Structure 1
Amino acid sequence: MNWRRCGDFSPLMLVVSGREKYRHVASLREMAETLMLGWPSDDGEEYVTAVKICLDAILGKLPAQDARAALIRAAEEAGIPVIAVVANESSQSVFAG
């Protein structure tokens, strides 16, 4: 189980309220931290599904991209804007909304 690996998880930037306005999510670990510690509400159906899928991905039962898709659905449900992070040729991050 390597839940800190970023290679299979295309990075996202979530625009959340609170102290940390932008939340960069580039691994299953960061996804789990975001869902458990930085989510505005824990009662949405997509939120609960995202938590379960994240755990399954951490355990190797599902691909990380399935967890990423679940995170996007949970963010949409919670009204959290999602920005895709795209690496350009010079290895710098570019944000695409």
Structure 2
Amino acid sequence: MAASTSVHSVLLALGTLCAVCHGGSVLRERDAVPAGYVAKPYYPAPHGGWTSDWSESYAKAKALVEKMTLAEKTNITAGVGIYMGESYNVSSYRCSLS
């Protein structure tokens, strides 16, 4: 058992090293952003709801979140796990507010 674990550890380390070395050749510096395309940073970010255009959407979202369990809130914000496919796909969450 110990030898098998050791072999798996070595293979994992070699695989990680290969991925890092190969990934380094793929990454490159980004092009500069053209003038006029960058918004001035605004820190700290404003709290949502500061414009009345979104008031109905915020009310619906608040009503939905109030009905959710802690597990549901965790799953929709953090996903169900890194080995379970798309764990950060919040946009596909469908619900009904009745």
Q: TM range, normalised to the smaller chain?
A: under 0.3
Which structure has more RCO (C-alpha within 8 Å, separation ≥ 6)? 1
TM-score relative to the length of structure 1: 0.24
TM-score relative to the length of structure 2: 0.24
Query: Which structure has the highest helix share of the two?
Result: 2
Computing the radius of gyration from Cα coordinates, the structure with the larger value is 2
Query: Which structure has the highest strand share of the two?
Result: 1
